[in-house]
Chains A and B, each alone.
Chain A
């Protein structure tokens, strides 16, 4: 079985631009979460979607938005990019929306904002 797949793997944008990152969860998993990992730091929670509904949102500005599609894949959108948005964006999937979350992560999208 394929793991969590993310695209693109790398992306370079300039300040003020908008970006869309994509994620396909493991087959059968209905929960998708997004994390931001700045170099040298642990991942920070951005969003969780379960059965196409937002189940949680981290402490990120409204420039960050996401959605989940009927096939459980997901997109993360970031508007008006800032230099500080440069990070590894990780998508994780899990089979349930509550309780212990055994998150399975993709390899991430490395976003550089110039």
Chain B
């Protein structure tokens, strides 16, 4: 069983829709939770990060972490065609340095 599970999609939504992306994990030692966005033929770009449980909002993006359920989410409001990309969740333990464990990514397409 993978430490981090993420539905690969693909997910296709109309412009302006609210998008919900999710990951589940099994390692209770994970403390840092991140979302990366990856465009085709590019490296991942850090979007959001949170420490332990709670919510964090940044513009149209909201990240949620529920450690009791081992479940994290990323919400995108008023989605735009430029949001079309692969979204990767990533997690790490307190002392694991840059050893991030990634989900396999969800491919999102926002249609004009």
Interface of A toward B, CB cutoff 8 Å: 4, 31, 33, 40-45, 48, 50, 55-56, 58, 90, 92, 94, 97-108
Q: Check A58/B99 contact, CB under 8 A, given A41-B104, A106-B43.
A: yes
Min Cβ gap B72→A in Å is: 14
6 interchain residue pairs of minimum CB distance: A42-B102, A105-B43, A33-B98, A101-B98, A48-B98, A45-B99
Contact size range, B: 20 to 34
Q: Which of B1-33 contact A (CB under 8 A)?
A: 4, 6, 8, 32
State the majority secondary structure of interface residues on B.
loop
Residues of chain B within 8 A of A58, CB atoms compared: 99
B50: min CB distance to chain A, Å: 10
Interface residues of B (CB under 8 A from A): 4, 6, 8, 32, 41-46, 49, 51, 88, 90, 92, 94-105
CB distance from B43 to the nearest CB of A (A): 3
Closest residue of B by beta carbon distance from A58: B99
> Which residues of chain B are within 8 angstroms of A41 by Cβ–Cβ distance?
104-105
Q: Enumerate 13 A-B pairs (CB-CB under 8 Å) in ascending A order.
A: A31-B97, A42-B4, A42-B102, A42-B104, A43-B88, A55-B97, A90-B43, A92-B98, A97-B98, A100-B32, A100-B49, A100-B51, A103-B44
Which residues in B have their C-beta under 8 angstroms from that of A4? 43
Residues of chain A within 8 A of B103, CB atoms compared:
42
- A44 touching B43 in the complex, CB below 8 Å, given contacts A55-B97, A100-B32, A102-B49: no
Residue of chain A at shortest CB distance from B103:
A42
**Given the contacts A4-B43, A42-B88, A101 and B32 also touching, CB distance less than 8 Å:** yes
Given A40-B8, A42-B88, A43-B44; A103-B98 close (CB under 8 Å):
yes
Contact assessment for A105 and B102 in the assembled complex, using a CB-CB cutoff below 8 Å: no
Interface contact B41-A107, CB-CB below 8 Å: yes
Q: Are A44 and B99 in contact (CB under 8 A)?
A: no
Residues on the A chain within 8 Å of B102, using CB: 42-44
Say whether A101 contacts B92, CB under 8 Å: yes
